[in-house]
């Protein structure tokens, strides 16, 4: 598809969306994704949309299929690096209130895809449920966390997931037990192409004192070992022989700078934006680390952060 054809398709999609979506949905053209990622970098999306309901989401997918326009999901923007050229097509974010509901039913928490992990952890504490304390410091939401099987401090999303409701690319809704979904370390391929709508977490009964102790411990460990500056979280998956952060420190790369991007002095597996970094700056640091790890230690590092978009 030529640039002109792509521009026409986006214009047509915009017109279709205006006619077929509820007025509560939010649609923005050429929206800078630096405003929606924790790294604070990234070029614009042709179209950025926050559907108000599941029906609106299904209509969006149908229009994209009809017009042959690509789409991608965006959660809270953590664990994500958007290139400086931005995203062609549509970026969908389930930020509307209808996707952020959290409800407790005995030992179960029913959480919308847009519910923030920190909100889930605090609601669990209020309801005297334990098992979700590790979520307290993860800057993501339920949908994105299931896509990446996010985890911290010894816990991971699929450890507490009982079932999930999701939408396929054709707009049909399904529900599946967690044990029926293939999952890897920091990856769930199903949710690369299918959209989480709601998750049911199965937790355990706990006491306020023990839950608060666990949450405080998680918070202390996180903020005692991770930088406060804007980042995407851990850049690399741990190698089989050594944690990525320890390897980067041993290579002497902590504090290495490229433009406005810096390999953190606090934790070697974090690249931070000091205020004026570009995605290219961060990608150059990533390649520098990978090359040094390969040539000096014979270790192939693979990115945990998802890199998307165009240069």
User: What are 269-279's pLDDT values in tens digits?
Assistant: 999 999 899 99
What is the per-residue pLDDT for 6?
Answer: 57
Could you tell me the end-to-end alpha-carbon distance of the chain, in angstroms, rounded to an integer? Answer: 18
d(CA 87, CA 190): 22
User: pLDDT tens across 89-116, in order?
Assistant: 999 999 999 999 999 999 999 999 999 9
Q: What is the mean pLDDT of the chain?
A: 93
Please provide the CATH number assigned to the domain covering 3-97.
3.30.43.10
Pairing of strands 44-50, 87-93: parallel
- At 309 the pLDDT is 95
Pick the CATH number of 228-308 from 3.90.78.10, 3.40.50.300, 3.40.50.960, 2.70.98.70: 3.90.78.10
pLDDT beyond 60 at 3: no
Backbone angles phi, psi at 266, to 5 degrees: -80, -45
Quick: pLDDT tens for 204-261.
999 999 999 999 888 877 776 788 889 998 999 999 899 999 999 999 999 999 999 9
> Which residue reads 């707009």 in tokens?
171
pLDDT band at 175 (very low <50, low <70, confident <90, very high): very high
Contact between residue 186 and residue 158 where contact means Cβ atoms under 8 Å apart: no
Output the CATH code of domain 101-224.
3.30.465.10
pLDDT at residue 7, rounded to an integer: 61
Q: Encode the chain in three state secondary structure.
A: CCHHHHHHHHHHHHHHHHHHCCCCCEEEEEEEHHHCCCCCCCCEEEEEEECCCHHHHHHHHHHHHHHCCCEEEECCCCCEEECCCCEEEEEEECCCHHHCCEEEECCEEEEECCCEHHHHHHHHHHCCEECCHHHHHCCCEHHHHHHHCCEECCEEHHHHEEEEEEECCCCCEEEEEHHHCCCECCECCHHHHCEEEEEEEECEECCHHHHHHHHHHHHHHHHHHCCCCCECCCCECCCCCCCHHHHHHHCCCCCCEECCEEECCCCCCCEEECCCCCHHHHHHHHHHHHHHHHHHHCCCCCECCEEECCC
Which pLDDT value is given to residue 12?
A: 87
* pLDDT recorded at residue 136: 86
Residue ranges covered by each domain of the chain: 3-97, 101-224, 228-308
pLDDT tens for 30-70 read: 999 999 999 999 999 999 999 999 999 999 999 999 999 99
Band the pLDDT of 281: cuts 50, 70, 90.
very high
> What pLDDT score was predicted for residue 38?
94
Question: In this predicted model, which residue has the larger pLDDT, 226 or 174?
Answer: 174
Of all residues in the chain, what percent carry a pLDDT higher than 90? 82
The pLDDT of residue 224 is 67
pLDDT band at 11 (very low <50, low <70, confident <90, very high): confident
- Say if 101-224 and 228-308 have the same CATH topology: no
């Amino acid at each position: 598809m030529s640039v002109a054809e792509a521009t026409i398709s986006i214009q047509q999609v915009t017109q279709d969306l205006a006619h077929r979506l509820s007025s509560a949905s939010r649609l923005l053209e050429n929206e800078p994704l630096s405003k929606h990622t924790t790294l604070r970098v990234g070029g614009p999306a042709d179209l950025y949309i926050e559907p108000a309901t599941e029906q609106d989401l299904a209509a969006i997918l149908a229009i994209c299929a009809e017009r042959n326009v690509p789409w991608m999901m965006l959660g809270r923007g953590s664990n994500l690096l958007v290139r400086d050229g931005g995203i062609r097509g549509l970026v969908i974010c389930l930020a509307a209130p209808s996707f952020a509901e959290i409800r407790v039913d005995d030992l179960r928490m029913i959480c919308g895809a847009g519910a923030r992990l920190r909100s889930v952890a605090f609601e669990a504490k209020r309801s005297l449920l334990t098992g979700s304390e590790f979520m307290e410091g993860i800057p993501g939401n339920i949908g994105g966390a299931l896509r990446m099987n996010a985890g911290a401090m010894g816990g991971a999303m699929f450890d507490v997931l009982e079932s999930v409701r999701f939408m396929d690319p054709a707009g049909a809704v399904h529900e599946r037990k967690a044990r029926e979904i293939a999952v890897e370390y920091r990856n769930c391929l199903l949710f690369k192409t299918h959209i989480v709508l709601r998750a049911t977490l199965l937790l355990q009964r706990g006491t306020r004192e023990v839950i608060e102790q666990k949450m405080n411990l998680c918070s202390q460990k996180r903020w005692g070992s991770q930088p406060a500056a804007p980042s995407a979280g851990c850049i690399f998956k741990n190698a089989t022989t050594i944690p990525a952060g320890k390897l980067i420190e041993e290579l002497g790369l902590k504090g290495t700078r490229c433009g406005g991007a810096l390999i953190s002095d606090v934790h070697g597996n974090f690249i931070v934006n000091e205020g004026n970094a570009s995605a290219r700056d961060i990608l150059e640091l990533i390649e520098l680390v990978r090359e040094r790890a390969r040539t000096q230690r014979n270790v192939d590092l693979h990115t945990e952060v998802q890199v998307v978009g165009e240069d």
